[in-house]
Amino acid sequence: MSNAKTTEHPPIYGRLIEERGDAPAEAREAAQQVQRQAAVALDWSDIKLSQQKRESRTFSAFS
């Protein structure tokens, strides 16, 4: 088992980021954007609310 801190990046990591960009950060950003888009696309609360309003306005002989 190593005693090295896992939060510190080796020196080569900084050079790779300078040369090639921070791929993990870009992937994380893209994943968060997809999650936000999916949450909006799967948010049916407006549809359910409008359906409940419609149903409450309909005539029922049994109410």
Residue by residue, what is the 3-state secondary structure of 4-44?
A: CCCCCCCHHHHHHHHHHCCHHHHHHHHHHHHHHHHHHHCCC
Please give the helix or strand (H or E) that residue 62 lies within, else none: none
48 is a domain residue: yes
Name the token pair of 5.
């801190």
Residue 1 belongs to some domain of the structure:
no
For 6-59, write each residue's pLDDT tens digit.
567 788 888 888 888 998 899 999 999 999 999 999 888 887 777 777 777 766
pLDDT at position 18 is 87
Residue 32 lies in a domain: yes
Residue 18: phi and psi, rounded to 5, are -60, -40
Residues in the chain: 63
Considering its fold, how many domains does the chain have in total? Answer: 1
Q: What whole-number distance in Å separates Cα of residue 31 and Cα of residue 24?
A: 10
